[in-house]
Amino acid sequence: MKLKVKDVKLSTGGPYVAILNEEDARKLDLYGSDRIKIKDLSIVINISRKIKKGQIGLFEEVLKKLSLKQKQTVVINPDRHPISLGYIKQKLKGKRLTKEKIDEIIKDIVKNRLTEAELSYFVSGCYIHGLSLKETVYLTRAIVDNSKQIKLDHRITLDKHSIGGIPGNRTTMIVVPIVASLGYTMIKTSSRSITSASGTSDTMETLANVELTNKKIISVVKKTNACMVWGGIMELASADDRLIKIERPLSLDPEGIMIASILSKKKAVNATHVLIDIPVGKTAKIRSLTRAKKLRKKFIKIGRKLGMKIRVVLTRGDQPIGNGIGPALEAIDVLDVLQGKGPKDLKNKSIALATMLLELAGVKKARKKVLDSLHSGKAYEKMKEIIQAQGKNINRLKLGKYFHSITARKSGIVHEINNKLISKIARIAGSPKEKGAGIYLNIHKHNKVKKGETLLTIYSENKNKLEYALNLYKQSEVIKIGPKK
Amino acid sequence: MKLKVKDVKLSTGGPYVAILNEEDARKLDLYGSDRIKIKDLSIVINISRKIKKGQIGLFEEVLKKLSLKQKQTVVINPDRHPISLGYIKQKLKGKRLTKEKIDEIIKDIVKNRLTEAELSYFVSGCYIHGLSLKETVYLTRAIVDNSKQIKLDHRITLDKHSIGGIPGNRTTMIVVPIVASLGYTMIKTSSRSITSASGTSDTMETLANVELTNKKIISVVKKTNACMVWGGIMELASADDRLIKIERPLSLDPEGIMIASILSKKKAVNATHVLIDIPVGKTAKIRSLTRAKKLRKKFIKIGRKLGMKIRVVLTRGDQPIGNGIGPALEAIDVLDVLQGKGPKDLKNKSIALATMLLELAGVKKARKKVLDSLHSGKAYEKMKEIIQAQGKNINRLKLGKYFHSITARKSGIVHEINNKLISKIARIAGSPKEKGAGIYLNIHKHNKVKKGETLLTIYSENKNKLEYALNLYKQSEVIKIGPKK
């Protein structure tokens, strides 16, 4: 059937989609979500009466891919559904998938051949039936094979990852300069925050450009041994990005996909030794020690199959790490620690993680070397080098001009700090989009506080947002203070 | 935030969708599939760089609902996700849902508040974990409560349904005029075919208009006791239609949703006594007797809870019923049977079903009455009345002008006729869109055939389609002929 192209002047943000008039669709026995072919491209169809008979509405992605323009004539033919749909159905039924089948699914995701509804079925299958160790390995490899990679000829490349959910916790920005100052390579890609107060990339961005091309990344690493960049721009693991997007509305996070998501990003930069930090706590992402231990085993086994040495450390996840929560506030903590000051908990955790990571790579006297680097100022110098190489950002450490301090209503001991509420309040105050928004925490768990003492200060760049953040604070129990237990 | 409306000149065919520029979305901390509110309407957002900063792209559904026009200014605010998403997640986790939760999901489906990806999660949950009897009842009721209904003040309204998968099998078009000629009411809504050769509506359409308004349906039924119309146009069970659409790409058909889908349509016309025909056979939809029996129990129990008396009959589903397959060919069979001629299997099955349906409603000497109606020509007269009342279609019984007969290559006994292949070949020949396309079957199972005898004739309105259909016939084993067993 020949149809005239109508540029609908929209993008789908992924899948190749065409819109047909109902009558034309009926002629070809096509229904919504069926496929057609134009040239060699398989395209999902929608049906809409807003498209005239004889026309085909095309989105930006298809127009670009096929170099088509408004009013050109195209020949369309019905096409089969992708065979990966059959495999997705098998997963939904609880069957184990082979390497070939998982490859096919991931290839189709990356090539934009599947609709969001179809992807949801895959996520559902993984969520309900789980993924076996083997399937997780296949999934990780498939994601890596279908994404851009950064390859340097280094014998050893170190990496680390913290499972999210703990406000503050910016150890990466301390561990990386320490390790790099000692001559080891870390090509650190991080995420931006989606639901937390700030991601490592959001915080790093207050100091340096984090949106680097792959070429630029390589040059930064060659110069400084390391980099700290946003993974999103690199098209590493783009299949993974699409899966995460589809998990959002129901906040699903199937374990197998989570593991593949983390490890594929390590594999894509050719990491050889990876330290994974799993904070465990009532308001952390991983809430039980049993689950954390199971997860540890899986990470190690899967890492081995992928040719990566992995060490997993379970850490306390019952409160924020550091004092600052929000990009600028966290960056200030990090720079302080690198200069021998700053919050002790952040400092100590960073030292411990850096030490374990080096030990994993067989470095002797790792702890001494880490402390030397930090105390001598070498790590701080390295941080400045990395910032310079990535492209320095200035004037982004200014805190929000609206702020309000909250004081203790009674004396006692801090029993609990709710991670989720802290994140939410910082977010409502404007973090991470407004770099100067967030929370400065004056206390930690088990601290003694006196009535009237400042517990925390909320910063915002906007008066209303500060108000909203304060309201949420007042309505909920963020910090529990009680008698000595 | 204030934005200027851009009419994207497209419809979504359901969900309320708005498109934001990435920068505007970030300002409000919104991501794809998040919700915004304009006035009182909750709208799903997409993000696209094809929409300029300060603009909001709106689809037809939103523009209409809010009476908005190009370049008007609207105020948008972030909105919560619908609470039904939480219930969908519970179902995905395997939890049983309460009446209130299922109501909320169905209400949100009908009100176009859920995306296709979100609906997929609901279908996945139902598919994997199943629906309990109670849940199926809630689902059926929720579908009915959220759809248009046809209410007549009749004490008794009869209905029947055949589970699909058997080519031919147009018993409805014989049972309805028989029952109506005896003074009983049947408000029969049927589907069009999606994957089979023809649906009852497609076949009935060769004789009469099947796309009637609800008002017109009531007047037809008042005049003739019955009607045979396409359910799709009546907006009965529109939640059900959306679920079926979402099941298509993976051909999922969760049992609970199937039962609710069938029974909601009966309940929506206030049926009191319903006969359900479940054909069982290797190439039918229901393949095992065990499953059919389980299904029977469920139908009866659920019917009772919905206030409908249900009888389920398991019939042989190992071959097509009647000789014609395809709209015109089937209609000819039907008219023949009503005039005392026609294929015996279709005639006998129709007599049996009509008898059982009347018995279910407490009619004495039902079989005799059925036979009287048929033999006296009263049923045929009633059929003509119904056709007249719905609006007669003429000249639509013409068979395709291209045809080809296939003869037996050897003598023997017919051991098997593959329902699925028969449907597929008829479809490729043009059925049901081309009313005269299809297959005329000369033989049935257990018939003796001689080499050279005609087995079937394929009809098409298009030479190429006939060719394609013949090719498929030659490539596959549609009819198995072997020695006497």
Whether the CB of B42 is below 8 Å from some CB of chain A: the reply is no
- Region A267-274: what's the mean pLDDT? 95
Provide the sign of the torsion angle of the four alpha carbons A210, A214, A217, A219, taken in this order.
negative
- Region A184-195: what's the mean pLDDT? 90
Asked whether B339 and B346 are in contact (CB, 8 A), the reply is no
Per the prediction, chain B carries an average pLDDT of 94
- Rg of chain A's alpha carbons, rounded to an integer? 25
At A235 the pLDDT is 67
- B13/A125 touch (CB, cutoff 8 Å), yes or no: no
Distance of alpha carbon A88 from alpha carbon A83, whole angstroms: 9
Q: Enumerate the β-bridge partners of residue A258.
A: none
Q: Regarding predicted confidence, which is higher, B170 or A485?
A: B170
What b/e readout covers A50-66, taking b as 16+ CB neighbours within 10 angstroms?
bbeeebbbbbbbbbebb
Whether the CB of A242 is below 8 Å from some CB of chain B: the reply is no
Distance of alpha carbon B64 from alpha carbon B108, whole angstroms: 18
Whether residue B253 lies in the annotated active site: yes
Per the prediction, chain A carries an average pLDDT of 94
- A92/B246 touch (CB, cutoff 8 Å), yes or no: no
Q: Nearest CA of chain A to the CA of B90: how many Å?
A: 10
Distance of alpha carbon A476 from alpha carbon A418, whole angstroms: 10
Provide the sign of the torsion angle of the four alpha carbons B256, B261, B262, B268, taken in this order.
positive
At A55 the pLDDT is 96
Asked whether B99 and B116 are in contact (CB, 8 A), the reply is no
Question: Which residue from B90, B104, B108 is spatially nearest to B42, judged by alpha carbons?
Answer: B108
Residue A242 neighbours by CB distance under 10 Å: 20
A282-337 confidence digits (pLDDT tens): 989 999 999 999 999 999 999 999 999 999 999 999 999 999 999 999 999 999 99
Residues of chain B contacting residue A123, judged by C-beta atoms under 8 Å apart:
121
At A152 the pLDDT is 87
Q: Taking CA atoms, what residue in B is nearest to A429? A: B29
Q: A165: alpha, beta or left, given left = phi > 0 and alpha = psi -120 to 50? A: left
Asked whether A387 and A228 are in contact (CB, 8 A), the reply is no
At A485 the pLDDT is 67
Whether the CB of A92 is below 8 Å from some CB of chain B: the reply is yes
Asked whether A18 and A38 are in contact (CB, 8 A), the reply is yes
Distance of alpha carbon B474 from alpha carbon B466, whole angstroms: 12
Whether the CB of B92 is below 8 Å from some CB of chain A: the reply is yes
Q: How large is the ipTM?
A: 0.88
Residues of chain B contacting residue A13, judged by C-beta atoms under 8 Å apart:
32, 46-48
Residues of chain B contacting residue A10, judged by C-beta atoms under 8 Å apart:
8, 10, 19, 48, 50-51, 57
State the amino acid at position A95 in one-letter form: K
- Compute, in degrees rounded to 10, the torsion defined by CA atoms A26, A28, A29, A35: -110
- B31/A252 touch (CB, cutoff 8 Å), yes or no: no
Whether the CB of B128 is below 8 Å from some CB of chain A: the reply is yes
Instruction: Give yes or no for residue B3 having a pLDDT over 70.
Output: yes
Asked whether B429 and B460 are in contact (CB, 8 A), the reply is yes
Instruction: Give yes or no for residue A251 having a pLDDT over 90.
Output: no
Residues composing chain A: 485
Give me the helix-helix angle, A255-267 and A133-145, nearest 10°. 40
Window 253-282 of A, Cβ < 8 Å to B: none
Q: Nearest CA of chain A to the CA of B126: how many Å?
A: 11
Residues of chain B contacting residue A437, judged by C-beta atoms under 8 Å apart:
none
- B10/A8 touch (CB, cutoff 8 Å), yes or no: yes
- B249/A85 touch (CB, cutoff 8 Å), yes or no: yes
At B194 the pLDDT is 76
Question: Strand, coil or helix: what is A281?
Answer: coil
Q: Taking CA atoms, what residue in B is nearest to A427? A: B29
- B60/A47 touch (CB, cutoff 8 Å), yes or no: no
Asked whether B48 and A10 are in contact (CB, 8 A), the reply is yes
At A195 the pLDDT is 78
Residue B345: both structure tokens together? 């299997």
Please list, in sequence order, all residues whose beta carbon lies within 8 angstroms of the beta carbon of residue A334, skipping any fewer than 6 positions away. Answer: A170, A173, A174, A203, A342, A346
CB pairs under 8 A between A and B: 132
Distance of alpha carbon A334 from alpha carbon B358, whole angstroms: 82
Q: Taking CA atoms, what residue in B is nearest to A9? A: B50
Catalytic residue numbers of A?
253
Q: Nearest CA of chain B to the CA of A246: how many Å?
A: 7
Instruction: For chain A, list the domains and their CATH numbers.
Output: 2-79 (2.40.40.20), 84-130 (no CATH), 158-237+261-390 (3.40.1030.10), 402-482 (3.90.1170.30)
Whether the CB of B50 is below 8 Å from some CB of chain A: the reply is yes
Residue B38: both structure tokens together? 């304009």
Q: Which of A246-250, A424-428, B100-104, B292-296 has the lowest mean pLDDT?
A: A246-250
Whether the CB of A125 is below 8 Å from some CB of chain B: the reply is yes
Q: Could you give the angle at the alpha carbon of A234 between the alpha carbons of A233 and A239, nearest 5°?
A: 95
- Compute, in degrees rounded to 10, the torsion defined by CA atoms A407, A195, A466, A452: 0
Asked whether B218 and B150 are in contact (CB, 8 A), the reply is yes
Catalytic residue among B253, B277, B318, B336: B253
For residue A46, what are the CA distances in angstroms to A4, A43, A202, B7, B134?
Answer: 16, 10, 38, 18, 35
- A57/B10 touch (CB, cutoff 8 Å), yes or no: yes
Distance of alpha carbon B398 from alpha carbon B417, whole angstroms: 26
- A13/B27 touch (CB, cutoff 8 Å), yes or no: no
Distance of alpha carbon A107 from alpha carbon A102, whole angstroms: 8
A100-153 confidence digits (pLDDT tens): 999 999 999 988 899 999 999 999 999 999 999 999 999 999 999 988 888 888
Q: For A92, which of B19, B51, B128 is closest by C-beta distance?
A: B128
Question: Which residue from A294, A287, A241 is spatially nearest to A268, judged by alpha carbons?
Answer: A241
Instruction: Give yes or no for residue A383 having a pLDDT over 90.
Output: yes
Distance of alpha carbon B112 from alpha carbon A6, whole angstroms: 27
State the amino acid at position B335 in one-letter form: L
pLDDT category of residue A237 using cuts at 50, 70 and 90: low
Asked whether B314 and B278 are in contact (CB, 8 A), the reply is yes
- The residue ranges of DSSP E strands in A82-181, in sequence order, are 158-162
Q: Nearest CA of chain B to the CA of A10: how many Å?
A: 5
Whether the CB of A105 is below 8 Å from some CB of chain B: the reply is no
- B115/A119 touch (CB, cutoff 8 Å), yes or no: no
Q: Nearest CA of chain B to the CA of A419: how many Å?
A: 20
φ, ψ for residue A258 (rounded to 5)?
-60, -45
Instruction: Give yes or no for residue A26 having a pLDDT over 70.
Output: yes
- B48/A10 touch (CB, cutoff 8 Å), yes or no: yes
Instruction: Give yes or no for residue B251 having a pLDDT over 90.
Output: no
- Region A420-424: what's the mean pLDDT? 94
Distance of alpha carbon A290 from alpha carbon B272, whole angstroms: 55
Instruction: Give yes or no for residue B485 having a pLDDT over 70.
Output: no
- A249/B117 touch (CB, cutoff 8 Å), yes or no: yes
Residue pointed to by tokens 């020690």:
A289
Whether the CB of B48 is below 8 Å from some CB of chain A: the reply is yes
- Region A437-445: what's the mean pLDDT? 97
Whether the CB of A52 is below 8 Å from some CB of chain B: the reply is no
Asked whether B334 and B173 are in contact (CB, 8 A), the reply is yes
Q: Nearest CA of chain A to the CA of B89: how many Å?
A: 6
Distance of alpha carbon B457 from alpha carbon B441, whole angstroms: 7
